[in-house]
Structure 1
Amino acid sequence: MFRKAGMALAAILIMTGSALADPIEGNWKTQSGETASIAGGGSFSITLKTGKYAGKTIGSLRAAGDNKYAGSITDPATDKTYSGKATISGATMKMSGCVLGGLICKSQTWHKL
């Protein structure tokens, strides 16, 4: 009886933990086909897991409202860092990096894996 109760409690805790995770956390398929991992608490780090730049950290974002994030994004090919933002809608995230106070921006759409 105690074993069944313990297993049920463990299952509840596991489900609750994943329900409390921030929607940005997890693995994402980038627009160019690589996989990126986003993890952290308060400040979220973006690290490429696959592709030519695997292992490289390419950004840092903080929550800026409901499913909105702001911070910096680095182009792994040039190592240039831009003002960045992301907005999540379901399993889709639109990210953009901007220069000149938002005058020139590039955007990508990523999908949660």
Structure 2
Amino acid sequence: MFRKASLALAATLIMAGAAWADPIEGNWKTQSGATAAISGGGGAFSITLKSGKFAGKNIGSLRASGANKYAGSITDPETDKTYAGKASLSGASLKMSGCVLGGLICKSQTWRKL
């Protein structure tokens, strides 16, 4: 009886943990077709490429900055240059942007949740 109750409690806690995950966490298809994984917790997230030419490379870090909004730094894997970055989540779409010169020049792309 105790064993069944322990298993039920463990299963409930595992499912509750998944429900508390931030919606930005998970695997995303980038505009170039590579897969990027966003992981973390407590409001801080790391972006790592999982496929493509730069697989395994960390390309950014973000912190929650409001409802479905994130800010931090984004690195262009082609040039290794790091930019001030922002992300905005809307359903299964994540709009990523990186800017230089205080936001005068920005580049953005939209990623899709896998």
- Whole-Å Cα distance in 1 between the matches of residues 11 and 112 of structure 2? 27
Q: Secondary structure in 1 aligned to 2:66? A: coil
Extract structure 1 runs of 4+ deviating beyond 4 A. none
Q: Over aligned residues, Cα RMSD in angstroms?
A: 1.2
Match of 1:50 in 2: 51
Query: Structure 1 stretch 51-60 or stretch 34-43: which is displaced more?
Result: 34-43
Query: Structure 1 stretch 13-22 or stretch 2-11: which is displaced more?
Result: 2-11
User: Post-superposition shift, 1:104?
Assistant: 1.1
Aligned letter for 2:96? M
Q: Structure 2 stretches of 5 or more lacking a match?
A: none
Q: TM-score, normalised by structure 1?
A: 0.93
Match of 1:34 in 2: 34
User: Post-superposition shift, 1:6?
Assistant: 2.7
Match of 2:7 in 1: 7
Match of 1:110 in 2: 111
Match of 1:74 in 2: 75
- Whole-Å Cα distance in 2 between the matches of residues 51 and 86 of structure 1? 21
- Whole-Å Cα distance in 2 between the matches of residues 14 and 49 of structure 1? 25
* 1:57-91 Cα shifts (integer Å, max 9, x gaps): 10010010011000110000000111100011112
Count of aligned pairs = 113
Match of 2:20 in 1: 20
User: Post-superposition shift, 1:112?
Assistant: 1.3
Q: Structure 1 stretches of 5 or more lacking a match?
A: none
User: Post-superposition shift, 1:18?
Assistant: 0.6
- Whole-Å Cα distance in 1 between the matches of residues 18 and 91 of structure 2? 15
Q: TM-score, normalised by structure 2?
A: 0.92
1:59-98 equivalent positions in 2, closer than 5 A = 59-98=60-99
